[in-house]
Amino acid sequence: MSAKDIFHDAVKRALEKDGWIITHDPLFLSFGGVDMYVDLGAERILAADRGDEKIAVEIKSFIGPSATTEFNAALGQFLKYQLALEEEEPDRILFLAIPVDAEREFFRLELPRRLIERYQVRLMIYDPEGEVIVKWQT
């Protein structure tokens, strides 16, 4: 199991503030002979006739020296987890959690933006200092 991201607890608190119940910390998946750990699993109850909503959240800080290198790793993880979730927990929606600064400074560039669109990466943009979710981008 990999180490928790530096903003793990901030994202966890932001989800709880947004009405989510953390069900897994981390969310364990096993698929294709590989064990995987998505940072968080959460759910929230919707209107009685709609049931509940389940998500998985992979948290990234983007505070290292190269946003491109971090993005390459994050995209690879996201695609791997997405395939595993489609097979093992198809009712759970995967999000890549990124800090608001990374969204403004890197994710609006053409290459990351086009890759996010092409691979249908859902983003959860968070403010690590305020411990709040700024935007859900699906």
Average pLDDT over all residues of the chain: 93
CATH number, position 53: 3.40.1350.10
Is 13 among the domain residues? no
Domain of residue 121 covers 27-137
Q: Is 42 helix (H, G, I), strand (E, B) or coil?
A: strand
Is 2 among the domain residues? no
What is the CB neighbour count within 10 angstroms for residue 110? Answer: 7
Beta carbons within 8 Å of 71's beta carbon, 6+ residues apart: 62, 106, 112, 115
Is 80 among the domain residues? yes
Q: Say whether pLDDT at 3 is over 80.
A: no
Of the chain, the end-to-end C-alpha distance in Å amounts to 28
Per-residue confidence (pLDDT) for residue 51, from 0 to 100: 64
* Better-predicted residue by pLDDT, 52 or 3: 52
Is 85 among the domain residues? yes
Is 21 among the domain residues? no
pLDDT (tens digit per residue) in 122-136 = 999 999 999 999 999
Per-residue confidence (pLDDT) for residue 1, from 0 to 100: 56
> CA 126, 92, 12 angle in degrees (round to 5)?
30
Is 11 among the domain residues? no
Number of structural domains (the chain) is 1
Q: What's the token pair of residue 45? A: 């109850």
Is 79 among the domain residues? yes
Is 18 among the domain residues? no
Q: Say whether pLDDT at 50 is over 70.
A: no
Query: How far does CA 39 lie from the centroid of its chain?
Result: 8
pLDDT (tens digit per residue) in 7-23 = 999 999 999 999 999 99
